[in-house]
Structure 1
Amino acid sequence: MKKIIFMGTPAYATCILKALLENENFNMMALFTQPDKAVGRKQILTPSDTKAFLSHHSPNIPIFTPISLKDEMVVKQIRDLRPDFIVVAAYGKILPKAVLDIAPCINLHASLLPKYRGASPIQSAILNGDEKSGVCTMLMEEGLDTGAILESLECDIKDKNSSEVFEILANLAAKLIISTLLNFKNITPKKQDENLATQCKKIKKEDGMIALHNAREIYQKYLAFTPWPNIFLANGLKFLELELIDETKIFNQEGEILELEKESFLLACKQGILRIKKLQESGKKVLDGHTYLNGKRLKVGDNLY
């Protein structure tokens, strides 16, 4: 039975952690995850998704929430557990060489490396309109997502939002880690081609701001930034549900209301047309498109701005 230390934080990681716990070939020695964070307006101290799950389902497994993995005491804690593998999935911390040297460290990255190294591989693939993505197991080294690939699985992500793709890739990753760990001795690591490498940055709230220029680009942003940070106009108006109707038609006036429908409306961009189904003004209720326009006394030919 292989001894595993798991390092991960969000729901994506929980899906992988659950698969390892349920497999009789592995003995989970400990979870390392991010410290509890103050969440919401009331700033309630909230544990990570992995910590909440493990505390409820396997309370006897120790959980560590170190501020830094460079702390010598933390490195000693890891070394004393004598793991056969350290499995990492969206942990949110860089592993120093002292930890990497303890045991093979295997990262589950939510892209087909070397594409989309970094913090937002799923959102970046969607933003770029990729129809395929996937998940890799890779041997970790000191560089960010630069290690040799062990195994990978591919999937279709066309017209899927970030939340849907996260779920698909989490389930693929849960299967892949079992395969990689059980077959580790027989896998030949494949070095990444640096000529094909691309980087992606951490998503910020302001990335969700849009102007009504290009309907296709807005649609891809909508998919990528659902459920967070959503897409919104400069005045704070959020588009929570929309469809891409046309991506080629050119209009002189962006933001023109083209047609009212039962629960939505068609909106002109400088290039293309969107169907706006649900909106939300800052601090107000979510409304369907038709109800919103009625409340604002806007009609066909008026401008949403």
Structure 2
Amino acid sequence: MYVKSEHLRRNEKLKIVFMGTPSYATTILEALCLEPSIEVILLVTQEDKPVGRKQLLTPPHTKAWLLEQGLHVEIFQPKTLRCKEAQEKIAACRPDFIVVAAYGQILPREVLDIAPCINLHASLLPKYRGASPIQSALLAGEVYTGVTSMLMEEGLDTGAMLGFSYLKIEPEHNASLLFNALSSCAARLTLTTLKNFAALLPIQQVSANATHCKKIKKEDGLVSFELDAIEIMKHFKALSPWPGIYLESGLKLLDICLVDESSCNASVGMIDGIETEGIILTCKKGKVLLKILQPVSKNAMPAVDYIRGKRLGRGDTLV
């Protein structure tokens, strides 16, 4: 534990180098910038990237927020942290802590040795180490999730744990809503961890209990009515808004809800009912209500309008 105790005894502001890229990180950055006892002296984030059909060069969310606020925090966007220039730039700041939240690169030993590096990981470690902890918790049907603050080391999310913030996953939570809720948890936990750092006793992770999650890809959104209704709903919640869920035909299921999770159906993918708000489809087990669909290369439309255009009715198979 190599916090500068003399520095803290003088009640000076803690100097923070913050590393983060998406909106999850921005919520934490905002909390740090608003805290009177903390001074964010450098934002390290990913390079601006082309986005959308027009490939407009777009800054990371953290950078965009900082510029909008007009705060006098230097912004650094190295291509890699493994070059000497980037390492010397961070070391020259002489930070008390380096706070990392969804930065997007693994920190090399040269950076880890500059100051205590604290990561805010959106799971209750050692569960869901890796790139998609929020989506993975929803896919697994977890009842609780949370955020872990930990000391970083060269392994992926393997460092000693400093603190936890727990959150109950509510029925309405999809990945986007859960992302926002955990961002707020992470912001509060960051401040608590920094202010109490000298008194914390790091807890080593038990690797035998660890689970890992991969980066989400577009193809992960492929679903079939051969799945149980409850599994389709898990995919829908976990993969909204991106990549969303879709059928093998390319038809996107933009808005769905669970109707029944227990009935066993003789045939799957069959239109079992037509309601004002959508169509009821049979799954391997249970049924779902499809509200909004989007055919390939077309605009989103109500599911009822879609089946009318296809001249489908009750008892027909959707695809």
What is the TM-score of this pair, normalised by structure 2?
0.94
Report the equivalent of 1:86. Answer: 98
Report the equivalent of 2:150. Answer: 138
Contact 1:263/1:291 (<8 A) preserved:
no
Report the equivalent of 1:248. Answer: 262
Report the equivalent of 1:56. Answer: 68
Measure how far apart 1:157 and its partner are. Answer: 1.1
Measure how far apart 1:59 and its partner are. Answer: 4.4
CA distance in 1, matches of 2:224, 2:257: 16
Identity of aligned residues (%): 50
Report the equivalent of 1:208. Answer: 221
Runs of at least 5 residues in structure 1 that lack an aligned partner in the other structure: none
For 1:189, give the aligned amino acid: P
Report the equivalent of 1:153. Answer: 165
Deviations 1:237-291 (A, max 9, x none): 1111111122222222211000000020110012210011111112212112222
For 1:284, give the aligned amino acid: K
Mapped pair 1:169 → 2:182: yes
Measure how far apart 1:158 and its partner are. Answer: 3.5
CA distance in 2, matches of 1:170, 1:270: 36
Please report the RMSD computed on the Cα atoms of aligned residues, expressed in angstroms. 0.9
CA distance in 2, matches of 1:52, 1:277: 35
Runs of at least 5 residues in structure 2 that lack an aligned partner in the other structure: 1-12
Secondary structure, counterpart of 1:297 in structure 2: coil
Secondary structure, counterpart of 2:281 in structure 1: strand
Mapped pair 1:199 → 2:212: yes
Report the equivalent of 1:273. Answer: 287
CA distance in 1, matches of 2:61, 2:312: 43
Measure how far apart 1:202 and its partner are. Answer: 0.2
What is the TM-score of this pair, normalised by structure 1?
0.98
CA distance in 2, matches of 1:3, 1:58: 19
Give runs of ≥4 in structure 1 deviating > 3 Å.
none
Equivalences, count: 305
Measure how far apart 1:60 and its partner are. Answer: 2.3
CA distance in 2, matches of 1:263, 1:27: 52
CA distance in 1, matches of 2:232, 2:247: 11
Deviations 1:70-112 (A, max 9, x none): 1001100000000000000000000000000000000000000
For 2:193, give the aligned amino acid: T
For 1:241, give the aligned amino acid: D
CA distance in 2, matches of 1:116, 1:27: 31
User: Which 10-residue stretch deviates more, 152-161 or 74-83?
Assistant: 152-161
CA distance in 2, matches of 1:32, 1:21: 15
CA distance in 2, matches of 1:196, 1:68: 32
**From 238, 241, 247, the counterpart of 2:252:** 238
Report the equivalent of 1:2. Answer: 14
Mapped pair 1:106 → 2:118: yes
